[in-house]
Amino acid sequence: GAVVSQHPSRVICKSGTSVKIECRSLDFQATTMFWYRQFPKQSLMLMATSNEGSKATYEQGVEKDKFLINHASLTLSTLTVTSAHPEDSSFYICSARDQGTGGAGTEAFFGQGTRLTVV
């Protein structure tokens, strides 16, 4: 089945620095990818919808200047956490669907997730 690869799986950074997380669709093209954030023992919270070749759509309450999303190609979306602070520490997950094979009923595939720790 379709595979989504996310990198890195784990990152520790100092407060005030920026961290980039990559999400790749390995065997299909994804015009749209989704970025989620998951807090401990909680569900996934949709942060933004990443659109290839255009601006991302952010959910209410998500700071677009803090969480920069770039979807420069049909197989790669990146999430950059800028000027990270300890409260940004979380588990970030991306997902994408292979729309070419099944339309709206196609399941989403998820990256392995990135555990970000800001110290």
Positions in the binding site for other proteins (CB under 8 A): 1, 4, 6, 9-10, 31-32, 34, 42-44, 46, 49, 91, 93, 95, 97, 99, 104-105, 107-113, 115
CA–CA dist 74, 90 (Å, integer): 26
Nearer to other proteins (CB atom), residue 50 or residue 118: 50
What separation in angstroms does the CA of 46 have from each of 12, 32, 58, 65, 114?
A: 23, 13, 9, 16, 15
Nearer to other proteins (CB atom), residue 84 or residue 94: 94
The least distance separating other proteins from the CB of residue 16, rounded to whole angstroms, comes to 25
Give the ranges where the chain is alpha helix by DSSP (H): 99-102
The least distance separating other proteins from the CB of residue 86, rounded to whole angstroms, comes to 19
The least distance separating other proteins from the CB of residue 38, rounded to whole angstroms, comes to 9
CA–CA dist 51, 116 (Å, integer): 23
CA–CA dist 65, 81 (Å, integer): 9
Nearer to other proteins (CB atom), residue 19 or residue 111: 111
> Across the strands, what pairs with 46?
36
Nearer to other proteins (CB atom), residue 16 or residue 26: 26
